[in-house]
């Protein structure tokens, strides 16, 4: 009996140690990034374009480029993603077309981001002639994000109790009136949470934009959707590998800003979700 | 009259959403056909077998060679290495969180895992390059730490959130009755976990592992930055390697549209797409065999 207890203690103890060993160093490294990057975050760094082959100055055009790409991604992915989810949850019955849609979404979710980059280049940059541009990058990132948005929006719609739908229909509302006035408002916070999480993922992607939108250096801010842009993830890649003589603290600074932008999006999503939970409790 | 009109309106809306939903099918088809269209040239010019099994990749030399084997092996080594680290660790962590950890630890750990999953891969690559690689170099006394081993380690860290969260869902899905029946028969909690819970959750855990591997093989920026990028067939895990994804990312900028090099990179895209497609298919078969775990597309 003693032996059994000892074995149990040892087994679970080992797992606790494993968890600790896996999580703590990773958190420590991220802490190190914050510690190293913090001094670089001056006003100049955040509001000026880079100078002297990216070795001095700031990252302002890269921040703006990433924000512009993010807005574009939302405009592509959100209507398509939410529309698809509405169809799957509210309208679709069980037939071959719907099964095909589900299979397609699952497979799209598994396509590596660099393959999306290849596709975006072949399709938007070359075939459609958009060139290396904000538009091509946003379309590529939008497609990449689509499966995440569809699946979270679907979950949000499924979470709306059927009683709401029946009540609305019983009052004489049509299907569409029910979806628009009853189901969507209830599901909206959860849909937004999922969308923001998906967009946050897209904002940090590098491979899909490196052949479709981003350039190593341009001091100009984008005027139109046909302009090429600097983008933070690609900037971080470039200064830490390809561009010579960039000081460590500039790179840590860029990494920290990227992490902060992605982290801020995640935070917004979590805040919306928490408020939603509290509301439900009330 | 009015009801008929609104009937048409309602029908129209249904078809409108159906059309939007159909975009996903169209997109998958477009990705598939565009990769093949652009990559076809290399398969007919070089030959499928010579492309996949060729050992020399000299895309810009006088007489170019397009043998992708070093990269295919590179991708496989790095992915399997990452899997050997991330799968046992991920399942172990999931068992700890699902079976023993107090509620507060579990909530915090879930938040941390979500945070880690959201970190961009280029940041992982940057940290691997500037923080991890120098430490590994000193620790193992290597000439350079930009090797398959370092890449596998970074990929394992990146795949860990996927493996942990899906494994945890799988463990949660095991009915409580199973545990209680085992405990009532006098088994300890550890025996119950090892002999009852883990076997019951087996297919969910397998799916978690497959998704982790799928995530690792498609990963680009981190391996591009830390794997060393040597176009050779590695002899040990401490040799530098170059993966399929890294080659596409590194070389696409230098190619001319329609040229053989351009086609060869799309050919690599076809190979990669096929590998992930198969991984997806296997995962899917596992998932449909057990409906206990819901398939998520995000993590």
Give the gap in angstroms from C-alpha A180 to the nearest C-alpha of chain B.
11
pLDDT-derived band of residue B164, with 50, 70 and 90 as boundaries?
very high
SS3 content of chain B, % helix, strand, coil (to 5): 75, 0, 20
Q: Determine, yes or no, domain membership for B230.
A: yes
Are B118 and A112 an interchain contact pair (Cβ–Cβ within 8 Å)?
A: no
For residue A246, what pLDDT is reported?
77
| Residues of B whose CB is below 8 A from A236 | 122-123, 126
Q: Determine, yes or no, domain membership for B41.
A: no
Q: What would the two tokens of residue A72 be?
A: 């574009």
For the packed helices A113-120 and B244-251, what is the interaxial angle rounded to 10 degrees?
A: 30
Q: What would the two tokens of residue B77 be?
A: 């080594």
Q: Determine, yes or no, domain membership for B14.
A: no
Q: Determine, yes or no, domain membership for B241.
A: yes
Q: Determine, yes or no, domain membership for B224.
A: yes
For residue A226, what pLDDT is reported?
84
Least CB-CB distance to A87: which of B17, B95, B295? Answer: B17
| pLDDT higher than threshold 60 for residue B294 | no
pLDDT for A232-267, tens place per residue?
999 999 988 877 777 888 899 999 999 999 989 988
Residue-range definition of the domain harbouring residue B178: 68-289
pLDDT-derived band of residue B293, with 50, 70 and 90 as boundaries?
very low
| Residues of B whose CB is below 8 A from A105 | 24, 297
Residues 133-192, chain A: which have Cβ within 8 Å of B?
Answer: 143, 146-148, 150-152, 174-176
The model carries a pTM of: 0.90
Q: Determine, yes or no, domain membership for B299.
A: no
pLDDT for B80-93, tens place per residue?
999 999 999 999 99
| Residues of A whose CB is below 8 A from B20 | 79-80, 83-84, 87
Q: Work out the end-to-end distance of chain B between its first and last CA atoms, rounded to an integer number of angstroms.
A: 50
> Mind giving me the DSSP string for B1-58?
-HHHHHHHHHHHHHHHHHHHHHHHHHHHHHHHHHHHHHHHHHHHHH-HHHHHH---EE
For residue B268, what pLDDT is reported?
95
Residues 25-44, chain A: which have Cβ within 8 Å of B?
Answer: 26-27, 29-30, 32-33
Per DSSP, chain B holds a count of helices (H) and strands (E) of 14, 2
| Residues of A whose CB is below 8 A from B123 | 33, 204, 236, 255, 258-259
Q: What is the pLDDT along chain A (282 residues), one digit of tens a residue?
A: 568 888 888 889 889 888 888 888 888 988 999 999 999 888 888 888 887 777 777 888 999 999 999 999 999 999 999 999 999 999 987 888 888 998 899 889 989 999 999 999 999 999 999 989 999 999 999 999 999 999 999 999 999 999 999 999 999 999 999 999 999 999 998 999 889 989 998 999 999 999 898 888 887 788 888 888 899 999 999 988 877 777 888 899 999 999 999 989 988 888 887 787 777 666
Architecture field, domain A57-281: Orthogonal Bundle (1.10)
Give the mutation candidate from A3, A40, A98, A111 for the B interface (greatest B CB count, under 10 A): A111
Q: Residue B119 maps to which CATH number?
A: 1.10.3720.10
Q: Determine, yes or no, domain membership for B152.
A: yes
For residue A2, what pLDDT is reported?
61
Domains identified in chain B, total number: 1
Q: Where would I find the H helices in B173-259?
A: 176-184, 189-192, 198-200, 202-218, 221-226, 244-251
pLDDT-derived band of residue B299, with 50, 70 and 90 as boundaries?
very low
Alpha-carbon dihedral A202, A207, A209, A215, rounded to 10 degrees: 130
Q: Let me know: does A137 contact A69? Beta carbons within 8 Å.
A: yes
Are A97 and B31 an interchain contact pair (Cβ–Cβ within 8 Å)?
A: no
Q: What would the two tokens of residue B43 be?
A: 């398969």
> Mind giving me the DSSP string for chain A?
-HHHHHHHHHHHHHHHHHHHHHHHHHHHHHHHHHHHHGGG--HHHHHS-EETTTTEE--HHHHHHHHHHHHHHHHHHHHHHHHHHHIIIII--SSHHHHHHHHHHHHHHHS-HHHHHHHHIIIIIIIS---SSHHHHHHHHHHHHHHHHHHHHHHHHHTS-HHHHHHHHHTT--HHHHIIIIIHHHHHHHHHHHHHHHHHHHHT--HHHHTTTB-S---SPPSSTTS-B--HHHHHHIIIIISTT--HHHHHHHHHHHHHHHHHHHHHHHHHHHHHHHHHH-
Q: If you count residue pairs, one on A and one on B, with CB atoms under 8 Å apart, how many are there?
A: 257
- The DSSP symbol for B105 reads H
Sort strands A50-51 and A56-57 into parallel, antiparallel or unpaired: antiparallel
Are A114 and B245 an interchain contact pair (Cβ–Cβ within 8 Å)?
A: yes
Q: Determine, yes or no, domain membership for B297.
A: no
| Residues of A whose CB is below 8 A from B248 | 114, 117-118
| Residues of B whose CB is below 8 A from A108 | 24, 27-28, 31
Are B249 and A176 an interchain contact pair (Cβ–Cβ within 8 Å)?
A: no
User: HSE (CB half, 13 Å, CA atoms) of A153?
Assistant: 29
């Amino acid at each position: 009996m003693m032996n059994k207890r000892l074995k149990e203690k040892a087994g679970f103890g080992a797992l606790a140690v494993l968890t600790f060993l896996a999580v703590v160093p990773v958190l420590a490294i991220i802490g190190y990034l914050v510690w190293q990057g913090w001094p670089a975050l001056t006003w100049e760094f955040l509001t000026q374009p880079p100078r002297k082959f990216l070795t001095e100055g700031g990252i302002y055009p890269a921040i703006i480029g990433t924000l512009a790409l993010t807005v574009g991604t939302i405009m592509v992915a959100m209507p398509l993603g939410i529309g698809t989810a509405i169809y799957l949850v509210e309208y679709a019955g069980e037939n071959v077309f719907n099964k095909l849609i589900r299979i397609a979404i699952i497979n799209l979710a598994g396509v590596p981001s660099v393959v999306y980059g290849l596709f975006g280049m072949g399709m938007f940059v070359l075939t459609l002639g958009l060139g290396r541009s904000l538009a091509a990058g946003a379309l590529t990132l939008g497609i990449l994000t689509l499966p995440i948005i569809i699946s979270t929006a679907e979950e949000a719609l499924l979470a709306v109790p059927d009683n709401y739908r029946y009540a609305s229909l019983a009052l004489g509302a049509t299907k569409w009136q029910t979806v628009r006035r009853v189901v969507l408002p209830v599901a909206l916070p959860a849909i937004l949470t999922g969308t923001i999480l998906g967009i946050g993922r897209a904002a940090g992607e590098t491979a899909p934009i490196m052949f479709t939108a981003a350039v190593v250096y341009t001091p100009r801010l984008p005027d139109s959707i046909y302009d090429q842009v600097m983008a933070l993830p690609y900037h971080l890649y470039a200064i830490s590998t390809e561009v010579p003589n960039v000081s460590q603290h500039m790179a840590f600074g860029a990494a920290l800003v990227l992490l902060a932008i992605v982290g801020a999006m995640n935070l917004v999503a979590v805040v919306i979700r928490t408020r939603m939970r509290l509301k439900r409790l009330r | 009259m009015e009801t008929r009109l609104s009937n048409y309106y309602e029908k129209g809306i249904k078809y409108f959403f159906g059309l939007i939903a159909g975009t996903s099918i169209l997109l998958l088809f477009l990705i598939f056909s565009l990769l093949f269209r652009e990559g076809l040239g290399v398969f007919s010019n070089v030959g499928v077998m010579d492309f996949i099994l060729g050992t020399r990749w000299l895309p810009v030399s006088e007489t170019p060679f397009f043998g992708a084997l070093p990269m295919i092996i590179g991708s496989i080594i790095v992915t399997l290495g990452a899997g050997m680290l991330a799968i046992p660790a991920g399942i172990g962590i999931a068992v700890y969180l699902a079976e023993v950890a107090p509620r507060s630890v579990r909530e915090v750990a879930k938040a941390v895992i979500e945070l880690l999953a959201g970190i961009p891969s280029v940041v992982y690559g940057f940290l691997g390059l500037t923080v991890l690689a120098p430490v590994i170099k000193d620790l193992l006394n290597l000439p350079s730490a930009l090797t398959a081993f370092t890449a596998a380690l970074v990929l394992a860290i990146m795949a860990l959130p996927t493996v942990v969260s899906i494994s945890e869902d799988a463990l949660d899905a095991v009915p409580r009755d199973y545990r209680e029946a085992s405990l009532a028969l006098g088994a300890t909690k550890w025996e119950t976990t090892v002999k009852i819970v883990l076997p019951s959750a087996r297919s969910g855990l397998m799916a978690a592992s497959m998704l982790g591997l799928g995530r690792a093989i498609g990963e680009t920026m981190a391996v591009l930055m830390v794997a060393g990028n040597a176009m050779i067939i590695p002899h040990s895990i401490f040799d530098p390697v170059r993966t399929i994804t890294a080659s596409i990312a590194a070389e696409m900028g230098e190619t001319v549209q329609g040229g053989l090099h351009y086609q060869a990179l799309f050919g690599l895209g076809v190979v990669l797409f096929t590998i992930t497609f198969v991984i997806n298919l296997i995962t899917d078969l596992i998932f449909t065999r057990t409906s206990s775990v819901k398939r998520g597309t995000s993590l």
